[in-house]
Amino acid sequence: MGEPYAFFQGQYMPLKDAKIGILTQALHYGTACFGGIRGNWDAEKKHLCLFRMKDHYRRQLDACKILNISLPYDADALCELTVETVKRSGFKENIYCRPLAYKSSEAIGVKLHGLEDDFFVIATTLGPYLGTGGIKCCTSSWRRVSDSQISPRGKITGIYVNSALAKTDANRAGFDEAIMLNENGHVSEGSGENIFVVMKGQLITPAPYDSILLGITRDTVMQLAKNELGVDTIERSIDRSELYVADEAFFTGTATNVAPISSVDQRTIGTGDTGPLTAKLQKLFNEVALGRNPKYSEWYTFVKPQ
Domain with residue 220: its CATH number is 3.20.10.10
17-76 pLDDT tens trace: 999 999 999 999 999 999 999 999 999 999 999 999 999 999 999 999 999 999 999 999
- CA-based R_g, the chain, Å: 19
pLDDT in tens, 258-289: 999 999 999 999 999 999 999 999 999 999 99
Question: Residue 72 gets which letter from DSSP?
Answer: S
pLDDT of the residue at 131: 65
Catalytic site positions:
155
From 124, 150, 167, the end of a domain falls on: 124
**What is the CA angle 21-64-213, rounded to 5?**
110
Residues 142 and 120 in one domain: no
Q: What is the pLDDT of residue 127?
A: 77
Q: Could you tell me if 273 and 156 lie in one domain?
A: yes
Q: Where among 124, 154, 178 does a domain terminate?
A: 124
Task: Classify 145 as helix, strand or coil.
Answer: coil
Looking at the structure, tell me whether residues 276 and 154 fall in a common domain: yes
Same domain, 142 and 86: no
Q: Are residues 106 and 148 in the same domain?
A: no
Q: What is the mean pLDDT of residues 191-196?
A: 97
- Please state the rounded mean pLDDT for residues 155-160: 97
- The predicted structure's pLDDT at residue 42: 94
Per-chain mean pLDDT for the chain: 96
- Domain total of the chain: 2
Whether 211 is in a domain gets the answer yes
109 in any annotated domain: yes
Same domain, 185 and 284: yes
Answer whether residue 130 is part of any domain.
no
Closest by CA to 29, choosing from 103, 101, 120, 100, is: 103
Q: Is 306 contained in some domain?
A: no
* pLDDT of the residue at 126: 85
Inside any domain, residue 93:
yes
pLDDT of residue 132: 61
| pLDDT value, residue 145 | 95
Domain residues for 39? 5-124
In a domain, 302, yes or no: no
The answer to whether residue 78 is domain-embedded is: yes
Is residue 133's pLDDT more than 80?
Answer: no
Q: Are residues 89 and 27 in the same domain?
A: yes
Q: How many helices (H) and strands (E) does the chain have?
A: 7, 17
* Per-residue pLDDT reduced to its tens digit, 104-121: 999 999 999 999 999 999
* Confidence (pLDDT) at 221: 98
Q: Are 238 and 212 in a shared domain?
A: yes
Residues 265 and 154 placed together within one structural domain of the fold? yes
Q: Which of 68, 90, 124 is the last residue of a domain?
A: 124
Residue 46 maps to which CATH number? 3.30.470.10
Residues 108 and 27 placed together within one structural domain of the fold: yes
pLDDT band for position 141 (cuts 50, 70, 90): very high
Same domain, 139 and 119: no
List pLDDT tens digits, range 203-238.
999 999 999 999 999 999 999 999 999 999 999 999
Q: Is residue 270 part of a domain?
A: yes
pLDDT for the residue 90: 96
Q: What is the pTM of this model?
A: 0.95
Same domain, yes or no: 285 and 162: yes
Q: Where are the beta strands (DSSP E) in 66-176?
A: 95-103, 117-124, 135-139
